[in-house]
Chain A
């Protein structure tokens, strides 16, 4: 009797997870691949078209634009989050009065807690050419009215907004990474006469590479799936200059009701995230401490 209960227990504990995993991850995963071989608009009868949707991808200039934008955005996002997150963490990692440390953490981290919808609205008002505070101060720096969301600058502006929104996370993770470095290592280096840059390059930087690696992986995944600021602020424009992959997927499937092609775009996003993340982990062995 007891033995029987013991054998049943794992199944009872696991069945809810397996059920939800199958319904909401496995089934849609295969579904997405399946739908990528059909053409369907929700209303007429679905038709099997083989690889036609994939062929379409290679001739689609808008998709090419969306892919280019997304890669530029993602690359800039990783570089700025790691670089400025490290800069800020090093600047804060000193003897600072507790009150100031609290203010700094609150200020830098708070935008991370906001929804992307609220953040996008704040910036879209701030960038308004008639009354926006950011557009006004940008004017002082030599950007004529309304240039920050013009086709030349809009993508860069969105990169900065993304940095504003999520730098707090990178900063906290890197700061925690620096603070786990044992203080006797720092002191030993100081006794040997290392200070300033040498201390940074030989001790701080190599020992916080695990935190930098973690930030670069999360920054990649987050940035590659960017959607809300484009959708809410620029609608991908002007002239598709800020169109992202996920936004293109969204408009293809849920505005133009091209399910098959939308599924192709979702498969592409999935495969890129998968391949790049695996590559990041592989490359980690070369630069991350004790990876």
Chain B
């Protein structure tokens, strides 16, 4: 009997160790490419691009950051990204919340059919809508204009769906009593439903913001002038301009996008991960 128990313990320890090793391997592999890029961007010219790589620098050199900042329109592109992400997110939140309220609380003819039609919009990928949209925006003279990025982002079938689910979970007694006090649908929406829906609205906002901030496919097609570009399109457009000096400048610009994001992530990890997992769209 003690022999089998010892055997069991031994097997348990072995499987624990196997799990630890698995996790360690994943973590090292996952962090390595980012760590190397950030590190290379701050090495001085002698130690940069050493093979094998120099993992512990003898001194740091931030000159490629200042040069990248002077040479590339990073500040403008950051402002563009921020403006487009904020407008897209707010627009989509407002439009989705209004529609979701109608589906969750109001009675009207064809409610379920209309809801299913809007939800089917989930299955229409941007790759299908891009050509007709490009032609339409071109005819309107809106190519190379930020409106071509934030207007289409304002309709979010998943947003309408999630908010409708959330609004339905709010007890109806709350609006009934407001109704008795003479409140109409607009007052109920603004004063009861919206304030109670902050968790759902903020989770949706996080996902919409990240989707807009990271979008490449659409922004790359509609924007062509460098100081109108968003950050992802901006850095991608620097590739292939040649030379090792340029490589370090591009690495510095990429790090300038990674580091603030990492800092934000370190402090808001739980909230960000929960938001993304609850909304569940791949960015």
Contact = CB atoms under 8 A, between A and B. Distances in A.
B131 A117 contact: no
Contacts of A122: 33-34, 37, 254
17 contacts: A9-B185, A10-B111, A13-B185, A16-B98, A21-B157, A92-B23, A94-B16, A105-B269, A110-B262, A114-B261, A115-B214, A115-B231, A126-B37, A164-B30, A195-B8, A214-B280, A250-B221
B160 interface: yes
A210 interface: no
Interface of A: 5-7, 9-11, 13-14, 16-18, 20-21, 23-25, 27-29, 31-32, 34-35, 42, 87-88, 90-92, 94, 102-118, 120-126, 128, 130-131, 133-134, 136, 164, 166-167, 169, 172-173, 176, 195-196, 214, 218-219, 221-222, 225, 227-228, 231-232, 246, 249-250, 253-254, 259, 262-263, 266-267, 269-270, 273-274, 277
Contacts of B95: 16-17, 20
A10 B22 contact: no
Contacts of B125: 221, 225, 269-270, 273
Given A10-B108, A10-B111, A270-B125, 19 more contacts: A5-B184, A9-B184, A9-B186, A13-B185, A18-B99, A21-B157, A24-B152, A24-B155, A31-B133, A32-B131, A35-B132, A106-B269, A112-B276, A113-B272, A121-B235, A123-B33, A176-B277, A266-B130, A270-B124
B19 A269 contact: no
Give the 4 A-B CB pairs with smallest separation, nearest first. Answer: A31-B132, A28-B129, A117-B232, A17-B99
Given A28-B133, A263-B131, A6 B22 contact: no
Nearest to A29: B124
B128 A116 contact: no
B53 A117 contact: no
A118 B231 CA distance: 9
B213 interface: yes
Contacts of B62: none
Contacts of A91: 18-20, 22-23
Interface of B: 8, 11, 15-16, 18-20, 22-23, 26-27, 29-34, 36-37, 40, 49, 51-53, 94-96, 98-99, 101-102, 106-108, 111, 114, 118, 121, 123-125, 127-136, 138, 151-152, 154-155, 157, 160, 184-186, 189, 210, 213-214, 216-217, 220-221, 231-233, 235-236, 239, 244, 247, 250-251, 254, 257-258, 261-262, 265-266, 269, 272-273, 276-277, 280-283
B106 A107 contact: no
Contacts of B282: 166, 169, 218-219, 221-222
A94 B19 contact: yes
Contacts of A21: 118, 121, 155, 157
A130 B49 contact: yes
A193 B221 CA distance: 60
Contacts of A87: 22
Contacts of B257: 114-115, 118
Contact of A267 (B30, B128, B232): B128
Nearest to A161: B33
Given A121-B250, A266-B131, A270-B127, A172 B277 contact: yes
B276 A246 contact: no
Given A88-B23, A259-B131, A277 B123 contact: yes
Contacts of B186: 9
Nearest to A254: B221
A254 B138 CA distance: 13
A87 B26 CA distance: 11
A25 B247 CA distance: 40
Contact of B273 (A105, A195, A249, A270): A105
Contacts of B239: 121, 124, 232
A251 to B, nearest CB: 11
Contacts of B266: 106
B218 to A, nearest CB: 11
A116 B49 contact: no
A68 to B, nearest CB: 18
Contacts of A108: 26-27, 30
A136 B51 contact: yes
Given A13-B99, A94-B16, A218-B281, A32 B37 contact: no
